[in-house]
């Protein structure tokens, strides 16, 4: 399940993830950005050190705190045990308890156990579909819930627990249930009472910052992701971002640029990508920024555009609509396995002869570069360039954006680690359900 880490490939000096700002410079001049960053150097220093006032939320800042070699060993051993009894692993979780591992599964399509996602919906149709997906498979479930009050995972867990009991009997079902929860929470009590396997939820990490903890590393490992390589990438990124001075810190440059744009009236950031594999990563990113920054009447609304499809829907607004948007592209520089598909010639006159012999990789790149050039004439465009798409880069991406989000929230003047705003609808909903 977990091969020896490939940490040797991560030199720490190589620019494996780079923020290209050249397509934004007409809107955020480099000199202005540099002086903004210099003026706010104290913010970077505070984020690099980690502030005492956020001590109960900053467990992710030091990757080793929740992804040490000992924790990785333990996670790999449990993943191996799960895979020995199941070909299907149901991950029950919502938001920060779901998006991280789901991003990696969607981006890398690992070849381990199949992951099925539940706990993120109340739709009967969708839950019936999940139950159908389990038929004929050996199943283990993992209920991931930080406080075990959230309705979606709580209700799905009850449904799937009952399914397992009916199918396997109570004793065998108990062997097939893992829960990831806070120590001392009602979920831990339930595990102890029923004999389920209990995995501790990182105590000092909020849900949306847990991508590099057991909350997500366990499902990833079960799915066959090389979690040691992923964590090695994150460690490299931590080393870079927590030591790089103000002028060389790409995450701080991104945080600074987006706050300069906020000051100038930009209200929406579009994360655009030409690989549908990033669909779930974009959900992770949306949650990270929406819950961290959208408060006190402030914050940039994070939205995602899966291209080239969205060029035929959102594209019109992006190019020509109200000037509230800026765009951040994710771009993979080197093709990997499965990234080549050559379109053969044909004797049918289909009017697409100009594509004869071209590779879809290059066709897609042409679409991307043309889009960026066109959009950059109207709005600021940043590009986060990845050498390749693999575990190391996914680990780097998680850390880079988490650090940038912390810094960005600080520059904006909000607490990036709470999310009090989501309580309002919950009160009304719980009232309606008679809780």
Report whether the peptide linkage leading into residue 308 is cis, meaning its omega lies within 30 degrees of zero.
Answer: yes
Binding of residue 208 to ligand PA5 (CB under 6 A) = yes
Instruction: Give catalytic status of residue 375 as yes or no.
Output: no
C-alpha 92 chain-centroid distance? 16
Helix axes 69-85, 214-223, angle to 10 degrees: 50
Q: Which of 363, 379, 276 is nearest to 328 (CA)?
A: 379
User: Are residues 258 and 408 in contact, defined by beta-carbon separation less than 8 angstroms?
Assistant: yes
**Gap between the terminal Cα atoms of the chain:** 42
Site for ligand PA5 in 95-114 (CB under 6 A): 95-97
- Residue closer to ligand PA5 by CB (options 17, 177) is 177
CB neighbourhood size of 422 (10 A):
12
- Segment lying near ligand PA5 (by CB under 6 A), choices 71-79, 201-209, 278-286, 383-391: 201-209
Residue of closest CB approach to ligand PA5? 207
Minimum distance, C-beta of residue 98 to ligand PA5, in the bound complex (Å): 8
Spell out the residues 6+ positions from residue 196 whose beta carbon is closer than 8 angstroms to its own.
Answer: 174, 177, 178, 179, 190
CA distances from 92 to 86, 154, 311 (A): 16, 9, 33
Minimum distance, C-beta of residue 74 to ligand PA5, in the bound complex (Å): 21
Spell out the residues 6+ positions from residue 183 whose beta carbon is closer than 8 angstroms to its own.
Answer: 200, 201, 203
Provide the mask over 413-432, with x wherever binding to ligand PA5 is found by CB under 6 A and - wherever it is not.
------x-------------
- Residue closer to ligand PA5 by CB (options 150, 236) is 150
Site for ligand PA5 in 212-271 (CB under 6 A): none
**The one catalytic residue among 31, 135, 312, 334:** 312
Minimum distance, C-beta of residue 149 to ligand PA5, in the bound complex (Å): 7
Of 5, 100, 112, 153, the residue at the interface with ligand PA5 (CB under 6 A) is: 153
What gap in Å lies between CA 344 and CA 359, rounded to an integer?
A: 9
Binding of residue 328 to ligand PA5 (CB under 6 A) = no
Binding of residue 1 to ligand PA5 (CB under 6 A) = no
- Residue closer to ligand PA5 by CB (options 229, 271) is 271
Site for ligand PA5 in 267-326 (CB under 6 A): 291
Instruction: Give catalytic status of residue 385 as yes or no.
Output: no
Q: Which residues bind ligand PA5 (CB under 6 A)?
A: 94-97, 145-147, 150, 153, 206-208, 291, 419
């Amino acid at each position: 399940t977990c091969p020896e880490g490939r940490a040797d490939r991560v030199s720490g000096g190589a620019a494996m993830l780079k923020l290209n700002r050249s397509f934004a410079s007409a809107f955020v001049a480099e000199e202005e950005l540099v002086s903004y960053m210099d003026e706010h150097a104290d913010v970077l220093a505070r984020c690099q050190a980690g502030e005492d006032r956020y001590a109960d939320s900053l467990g992710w800042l030091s990757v080793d705190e929740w992804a040490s070699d000992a924790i990785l060993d333990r996670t790999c051993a449990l993943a191996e045990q799960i895979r020995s009894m199941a070909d299907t692993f149901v991950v029950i979780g919502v938001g920060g308890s779901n998006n991280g591992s789901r991003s990696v599964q969607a981006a890398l399509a690992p070849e381990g156990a199949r992951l099925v996602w539940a706990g993120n919906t109340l739709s009967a149709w969708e839950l019936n579909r999940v139950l159908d997906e389990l038929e004929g498979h050996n199943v283990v479930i993992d209920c991931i819930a930080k406080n075990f009050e959230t309705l979606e995972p709580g209700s799905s867990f009850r449904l799937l627990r009952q399914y397992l009991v009916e199918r396997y009997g109570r004793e065998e079902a108990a062997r097939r249930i893992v829960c990831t929860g806070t120590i001392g929470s009602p979920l831990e009590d339930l595990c102890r009472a029923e004999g389920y396997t209990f995995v501790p939820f990182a105590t000092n990490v909020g849900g949306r910052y847990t991508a590099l903890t057991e909350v997500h590393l366990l499902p990833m490992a079960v799915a066959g992701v090389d979690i040691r390589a992923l964590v090695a990438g994150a460690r490299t990124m931590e080393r870079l971002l927590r030591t790089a001075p103000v002028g060389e810190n790409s995450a701080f440059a991104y945080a600074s640029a987006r706050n300069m744009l906020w000051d100038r009236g930009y209200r929406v950031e579009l994360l655009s990508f030409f690989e549908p594999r990033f669909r779930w990563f974009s959900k992770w990113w949306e949650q990270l920024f929406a819950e961290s920054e959208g408060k006190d009447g402030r914050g940039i609304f994070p939205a995602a555009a899966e291209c080239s499809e969205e060029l035929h829907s959102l594209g019109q607004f992006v190019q020509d609509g109200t000037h509230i948007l800026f765009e951040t592209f994710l771009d993979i520089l080197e093709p990997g396995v499965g990234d080549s598909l050559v379109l053969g010639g044909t004797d049918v006159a289909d009017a697409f002869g100009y594509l004869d012999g071209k590779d879809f990789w290059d066709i897609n790149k042409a679409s991307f570069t043309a889009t960026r050039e066109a959009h950059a004439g109207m709005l600021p465009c940043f590009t986060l360039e990845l050498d390749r798409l693999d575990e190391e880069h996914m680990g780097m991406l998680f850390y880079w954006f988490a650090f940038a989000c912390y810094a960005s929230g600080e520059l904006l003047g909000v607490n990036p680690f709470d999310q009090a705003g989501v309580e309002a609808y919950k009160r009304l909903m719980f009232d309606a359900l008679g809780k």
